[in-house]
Amino acid sequence: MTTRTAAERREQERLAYNANLAECPGHEVLAALSDKWVTLVVSALAEGPMRYAELSRTVAGASQKMLTQTLRKLERDGLVARRVTAAVPVRVDYELTGLGHELLPLQRAIKAWAETHIAQVHAARAVYDELKGGSTPKNPGVSPVVPVSC
C-alpha cells in the first residue's frame, strides 16, 4: 500500500468534486440542465400543469420529437411528473415536481442576469469581433442589441 501526502489526498478530493470533469456526478446534471429545451419546458411549466398540445404551443420551435424527448428526460430526472387521466380522449398533463420547482429560482436568477448584462455582452462581442478582423459570425437567431423583456 502506497502512502500519499496530504497534498496528494487534497488533489484527489478536489478532482472528485470538480464539475468540469466528465466523471463528476455534477457534470451529468449540469449538462442536462443547460439544454435549451429543458430550460424552456421548465419555464413553461412554472405556471402550472399543462397538456402536451399547450406545451407545444408555448415552447415555440420545438419539434414534436424534441419536446417528447425533453419531457421524458425531465420525467426520468424527477423534475417533471406526467399524469394520465382516463377519459375519451385520454388526457395527459405535465407538471413540475418539488425538485423541478426548486430549480425555478436558479433559472430566474440566470434570466435576470442575462437581461441585465445583455448590452455588456453585445459590446464585448463587438470589441472582440473588431480585434479579430471585423468578422462577425452570422447567427440568424440573434438580433442586434434591442432590449426586450422575455
Tell me: the pLDDT tens digits for 2-34? 788 888 888 777 766 665 666 667 777 888 888
In a domain, 147, yes or no: no
Identify the domain containing residue 38 by its residue range: 6-97
Tell me the pLDDT tens digit for each residue of 55-106: 999 998 999 999 999 999 999 999 999 999 988 888 899 999 999 999 999 9
Residue 79: closest CA among 62, 64, 94: 94
In a domain, 84, yes or no: yes
Whether the pLDDT of residue 149 is over 60: the answer is no
**Domain CATH for 47:** 1.10.10.10
Tell me the pLDDT tens digit for each residue of 61-72: 999 999 999 999
In a domain, 130, yes or no: no
In a domain, 54, yes or no: yes
Q: Is residue 101 classed exposed, middle or buried when 0-12, 13-18 and 19+ CB atoms within 10 A define those classes? A: middle
What is the pLDDT at residue 17? 62
Phi, psi of 30 (to 5 degrees): -60, -40
pTM over 0.75: no
- Pairwise CA distance, residues 95 & 83, whole Å: 8
- No. of H helices and E strands in the chain? 6, 3
Q: How many domains does the chain have?
A: 1
Phi, psi of 94 (to 5 degrees): -120, 140
- Pairwise CA distance, residues 35 & 71, whole Å: 12
